[in-house]
Structure 1
């Protein structure tokens, strides 16, 4: 279409345009540029009409941002570069190849290709275009972009890791990874989102590592109703970020197509050259309210709105086309009519499109290809020695074996490396750290600093970057140093990692492993080194949660976690790391245990204790004492896997003993045991001869003084008393 108009221009319109007035844009390209801008604006307008007709359910516009975003899209390569946009990026998505119909299918909640009716409008997604599915959270995607750039660099430095399957015995069906040494990763936010911690964490890592990430700030002056000066000291984010090293910085009038294009061209060229990241701060306008549910007239003075209207990029570009003689009034109107017709047709097709099927609701919550509950992950141990190893030893050896087998595995977190200043490590002058619990000791020495490295002290940074890496084809196995400090990462886990596959309707996924030391019984661990809270994560669909208690179970389940295709939260009770309980021989480099399979630690006939983690040896101690002193036989079930959990094993045991106790270290109230007790009571009521009992810690925090800690956490004597009482019921 733009080609036909350009031909007509050359034949009929006076050619007054000068190269200086258009910068590096040719007349033909400026026409194409305007067409994309106008297409975006008219798509916004059509959505607003559909919302007022109650044919869609939400609307948020890109109006006023079009020039900056078309400039960005025209400067990048779809299917070559990677894109982590945010919800104002309609014009960008159209420029890199998404269609109006794709966008309107999402608006009406049809079975759209990007989300299958699961995402609100303006969540641009396309696997082919490398548009990575965004969420409604702000700034979280910046860390994904950083991780994606890190993965691209890794594959460039390790091209052998980008090749497909590794051969027989490989249960993860790797595909070839397409990478380019000069690829750029685009990501964008509004100026309000620059207040988020992830914004600063992303800039920090991109700067440190000189990553080819293009950060675009679309500054329209308002975060909903909050003006920029209330978000940003001095009202200008460019002044605050100016001292980050290795960056290319540009501040531009984002309503000016020529200035925006020149700024984007320079920024992308800088990133492609390998010099580092770029930061483009575009001053744009917001001629429409934040969303259709908002009315900006409540908080913006009419004079301010009038001033914005004079800077409208659509009107400015129209004026440029006419002033430079690139289009006549008639040709401009013809172009607009063509776009209007295109948008109208796309809307009609979207409204007639089939709706999502209800039976597909649970599809893509987890991987359909490599389900970790599958029997393929069940292998027999083939011990490589007769030595009883600690849990810490077997975690380390499992990580070592898997890294040797799979070059896509990278390990990072706080203090996990042997020594960041590795020149001293290589010379033998340093022993190396390898984690506060020494779990990753020696891995950096054996596999190098580009595969095992320390992160900044920022948990969201760890998980967010890992999401980007995993979405690109790496297999990050990251560590959160203590469960007590996982909370800054929960936003990334709950709103990004857990639903990445589901919200994109299977287009994207992020299979990674998060290792987390958890729990108390430390004698002095106190509030901030003794926390449990696994029920928060088992309540999150899309993330697998496991918590073994013996060395061989740790090895088998960790290997499954690494080789499966789902995100896994791997909880490691730090009290058990080097205890005598649960030690065992190394089961070999192919030993795996499926998720969702409990283990009977002790058989019994009179009652069942369902437990996991550090309570397992304490329940076993109590059961042995009970049998010795009272002749009561208790069966101990170690769940090992919490999400999914093995209800069949629970039911089988309860039907045998007719009495059950659910015991865990976390607080008794609102804990994981409450769900188990409720389901047992609901589904196994007729098999019970007594009420379901629960044992947990007190509903408080763990204290530092050992006598208080012992009273707060469940001890063997507490479990013993509960079992004796239940047996007598």
Structure 2
């Protein structure tokens, strides 16, 4: 290497990008290291020593530039599966990456749970990634919001670092940049656009990198993107810094990344760098791009290969000679070979490790610490479920500065000048359950989200990964489905897929259910079985005011994501009112309540069916002398199998009742397990009572016929007792 041989044109580029010759050599080494790691994985796949391969080839210059422009362990990173090169530039090793390829027990990213190229590193702030496209964009937004919040609220940051084992080493600097990358095909996803809206509105320090190789598997960019160019579509978003560059040019890439990072770090807002790169290998080793790309097109791409281009550039500019390049490449080849040799000999995960980290192993919501007694308070007035949920949120927000609340219409007023002046009363949620929160805790902690459910949950995931405790509201269960992708493929899996490297313990409050007289199809839905079928998320559903407060407090204080289902019909019912049980009253998950002891028939239920079943049981006892034991599950995942089994062994007859439709409903699992494990204790078949297999109609006469009523429960109890 000879410093005086560098030409004037290179001197100018070096000065602009702060690149030294040594840094340029390291730039090339990282690019070549990434390419050779891809090549070694391909060999291992063909030898059947690994089971999947997807490459970074053609993206190396853009990604090494991003890695060199940012700060590992300081900034935060939400990469996607093409991002091998930036992870290497940040400090990931080849051995670490190949341990994931073979699915080794010592794979630091996932412990053998994730396929190759699904990056994760607590040390480097590389947040666990999934195979889903564009979901990570919303997580990056939430992460940036959390960083800003902690910078404004150092007392919350101090509590966060002290309370959470896995985050004790995290520092909050106040000027972190959050990197998120996607391919150009992924810009078709709604979550990308939802994230741009929030990044733009809030001027968040998020650096978007769009790696445009022209293809989403076999679909060319012009099919995915109107006009074939995402930069033209996003150009009018305010507060953004934009750059469109040749992503195969390392100097141009580095200069663009340095400028974009500086813009974000200075607090001006988000940036988007659109890099035109190539894909010299197929989408993955599971397909062959020659099926849909011509030889001429592939030849044109090969002429833009960033590895070849930079090698020739280093030679031409006199930064390295051929011998130096050969020595560098041999050292890289040896490094990759050594890493591969170690990886293929690595120990595989133990079978018994499979169920570890589905949930937190440090703070289970079933823990005895959550079994507290109601405290006597000065105010002994009975309150509704809505009142005590509101009181619990206020208690917990006073206790823990990390708790933030957002969703659609949950704030008292987004334009809070009139609120503060006393000119308006404030909204506080469509059911008023968050009323007064913004007034007391301010707009930093309570705010209205856009009308976009994936935005709510996706941002909350990023906040919780970073250490906030979001308690978000989905306005109606009927509209939860846009967030289902975020919940099922991201939230539920974060702890397990990262082998406890990351977690996202947030709370989703969701009004659910019918019996509303006119609620109709889109305000009466149930569907809890879909979510109880998802490992990694706790699901609870109280039927009365005191349980609602106790379970919500446990949900907030535990270390797992919780879906907290609130039955709308029960919010202000006379049934289930209770006095305020104090600011520390909790109920463990997985503990059912015996609402009515009995000896003849067991009825297992939850939610709004509880008061209806109680009404039927009381009537049956008055009229027929039949003694029904009524169990309110309260917690659906986990549920209290011991309470069920004890009751069934006593009564020998059981009904499982729920509001959702009969077929494939939540009760089917309970009924099946009773039949499987308690068959010899039964004197009659297990009976189910539930809604018709249809939707809830608007006309009350139809609604009453569709949903299970007290008379339906009465009839089932009577018939089963007589069996």
Q: 2:155 aligned to 160, 163, 169, which one?
A: 160
Instruction: Tell me the distance in 2 between the aligned counterparts of 1:603 and 1:179.
Output: 53
Q: 1:80 aligned to 74, 77, 93, which one?
A: 74
The residue correspondences of 1:422-433 to structure 2 (distance < 5 A) are 422-433=416-427
- Give the count of matched residue pairs: 718
Give the secondary-structure state (helix, strand or coil) at the position aligned to 1:163.
Answer: helix
- Corresponding residue of 1:253: 246
Q: 1:643 to 1:616 in 2, by over 3 A?
A: same
- Corresponding residue of 2:331: 338
Q: 1:600 to 1:174 in 2, by over 3 A?
A: farther
For normalisation by structure 2, the TM-score amounts to: 0.98
Tell whether 2:52 aligns with 1:64.
no
The residue correspondences of 1:648-727 to structure 2 (distance < 5 A) are 648-727=642-721
Instruction: Tell me the distance in 2 between the aligned counterparts of 1:176 and 1:633.
Output: 58
Give the secondary-structure state (helix, strand or coil) at the position aligned to 1:416.
Answer: coil
Kept in 1: contact 2:2–2:318 (CA 8 A): no
Give the secondary-structure state (helix, strand or coil) at the position aligned to 1:217.
Answer: strand
- Corresponding residue of 1:299: 292
- Corresponding residue of 2:206: 213
- Corresponding residue of 1:441: 435
Instruction: Tell me the distance in 2 between the aligned counterparts of 1:528 and 1:143.
Output: 26
The residue correspondences of 1:571-586 to structure 2 (distance < 5 A) are 571-586=565-580
- Deviation, structure 1 residue 164: 3.0
Q: Deviations over 1:621-649 (max 9, x none)?
A: 00001001111000100000000000000
- Deviation, structure 1 residue 165: 7.2
- Deviation, structure 1 residue 202: 0.5
Kept in 2: contact 1:163–1:176 (CA 8 A): no
- Deviation, structure 1 residue 654: 0.5
Kept in 2: contact 1:172–1:563 (CA 8 A): no
Instruction: Tell me the distance in 1 between the aligned counterparts of 2:64 and 2:572.
Output: 58
- Corresponding residue of 2:534: 540
- Deviation, structure 1 residue 386: 1.2
Give the secondary-structure state (helix, strand or coil) at the position aligned to 1:164.
Answer: helix
Q: 1:72 to 1:166 in 2, by over 3 A?
A: closer
Instruction: Tell me the distance in 2 between the aligned counterparts of 1:174 and 1:114.
Output: 16
Kept in 2: contact 1:390–1:578 (CA 8 A): yes
Kept in 2: contact 1:164–1:174 (CA 8 A): no
Kept in 2: contact 1:145–1:213 (CA 8 A): yes
Give the secondary-structure state (helix, strand or coil) at the position aligned to 1:371.
Answer: coil
Q: 2:345 aligned to 352, 375, 382, which one?
A: 352
Tell whether 2:139 aligns with 1:144.
yes
Kept in 2: contact 1:172–1:565 (CA 8 A): no
Tell whether 2:475 aligns with 1:464.
no
Q: 1:368 aligned to 353, 361, 370, which one?
A: 361
Q: 2:110 aligned to 96, 110, 115, which one?
A: 115
Q: Deviations over 1:535-577 (max 9, x none)?
A: 0000000000000001000000000000000000000000000
The residue correspondences of 1:101-112 to structure 2 (distance < 5 A) are 101-111=95-105, 112=107
Tell whether 2:269 aligns with 1:276.
yes
Instruction: Tell me the distance in 1 between the aligned counterparts of 2:7 and 2:615.
Output: 91
Instruction: Tell me the distance in 2 between the aligned counterparts of 1:19 and 1:538.
Output: 61
- Deviation, structure 1 residue 420: 0.3
Kept in 2: contact 1:398–1:558 (CA 8 A): yes
Instruction: Tell me the distance in 2 between the aligned counterparts of 1:683 and 1:401.
Output: 42
- Corresponding residue of 2:12: 20
- Corresponding residue of 1:288: 281
Instruction: Tell me the distance in 2 between the aligned counterparts of 1:130 and 1:503.
Output: 16
Q: Deviations over 1:239-260 (max 9, x none)?
A: 0000000000000000000000
- Deviation, structure 1 residue 10: 3.0
Q: Deviations over 1:278-316 (max 9, x none)?
A: 000000000000000110000011111010000000011
Instruction: Tell me the distance in 1 between the aligned counterparts of 2:103 and 2:148.
Output: 37
- Corresponding residue of 1:236: 229
- Deviation, structure 1 residue 178: 1.6
Kept in 2: contact 1:16–1:326 (CA 8 A): no
Instruction: Tell me the distance in 1 between the aligned counterparts of 2:166 and 2:588.
Output: 17
- Corresponding residue of 1:10: 2
- Deviation, structure 1 residue 189: 0.1
Instruction: Tell me the distance in 2 between the aligned counterparts of 1:165 and 1:342.
Output: 39
Q: 2:640 aligned to 646, 651, 660, which one?
A: 646
- Deviation, structure 1 residue 346: 0.3
Give the secondary-structure state (helix, strand or coil) at the position aligned to 1:189.
Answer: strand
Kept in 1: contact 2:113–2:497 (CA 8 A): yes
Give the secondary-structure state (helix, strand or coil) at the position aligned to 2:539.
Answer: strand
Q: 1:266 aligned to 246, 259, 267, which one?
A: 259
Instruction: Tell me the distance in 2 between the aligned counterparts of 1:466 and 1:173.
Output: 18
Instruction: Tell me the distance in 1 between the aligned counterparts of 2:5 and 2:222.
Output: 46
Instruction: Tell me the distance in 2 between the aligned counterparts of 1:264 and 1:620.
Output: 65
- Deviation, structure 1 residue 172: 9.8
Kept in 2: contact 1:162–1:177 (CA 8 A): no
- Deviation, structure 1 residue 32: 0.4
Which structure 2 residue ranges, 5 or more long, are not aligned? Answer: none
Instruction: Tell me the distance in 2 between the aligned counterparts of 1:161 and 1:471.
Output: 15
Q: 1:358 to 1:343 in 2, by over 3 A?
A: same
- Deviation, structure 1 residue 237: 0.2
Q: 1:564 aligned to 553, 558, 568, which one?
A: 558
Tell whether 2:614 aligns with 1:620.
yes
Kept in 1: contact 2:614–2:630 (CA 8 A): yes
Instruction: Tell me the distance in 1 between the aligned counterparts of 2:161 and 2:136.
Output: 31
Q: 2:521 aligned to 527, 534, 538, which one?
A: 527
Instruction: Tell me the distance in 2 between the aligned counterparts of 1:491 and 1:718.
Output: 36
- Corresponding residue of 2:123: 128
Kept in 2: contact 1:171–1:563 (CA 8 A): no
Kept in 2: contact 1:162–1:176 (CA 8 A): no
Instruction: Tell me the distance in 2 between the aligned counterparts of 1:328 and 1:476.
Output: 55
Q: Deviations over 1:628-683 (max 9, x none)?
A: 11110001000000000000000011011000000000010001000000000100
Kept in 2: contact 1:164–1:176 (CA 8 A): no
Q: 1:176 to 1:154 in 2, by over 3 A?
A: farther
Kept in 2: contact 1:37–1:67 (CA 8 A): yes
- Deviation, structure 1 residue 383: 3.3
- Corresponding residue of 1:595: 589
- Corresponding residue of 1:3: none
- Deviation, structure 1 residue 27: 1.1
- Deviation, structure 1 residue 16: 3.9
Tell whether 2:608 aligns with 1:608.
no
Instruction: Tell me the distance in 1 between the aligned counterparts of 2:174 and 2:629.
Output: 58
Q: 1:68 to 1:616 in 2, by over 3 A?
A: same
Tell whether 2:618 aligns with 1:635.
no
For normalisation by structure 1, the TM-score amounts to: 0.97
Q: 1:175 to 1:431 in 2, by over 3 A?
A: farther
Instruction: Tell me the distance in 2 between the aligned counterparts of 1:534 and 1:541.
Output: 13
Instruction: Tell me the distance in 1 between the aligned counterparts of 2:160 and 2:311.
Output: 53
Kept in 2: contact 1:114–1:126 (CA 8 A): yes
Give the secondary-structure state (helix, strand or coil) at the position aligned to 1:499.
Answer: helix
Q: Deviations over 1:223-268 (max 9, x none)?
A: 0000000000000000000000000000000000000000000000
- Deviation, structure 1 residue 175: 4.7
Instruction: Tell me the distance in 2 between the aligned counterparts of 1:294 and 1:166.
Output: 46
Instruction: Tell me the distance in 1 between the aligned counterparts of 2:290 and 2:100.
Output: 28
Kept in 2: contact 1:165–1:173 (CA 8 A): no
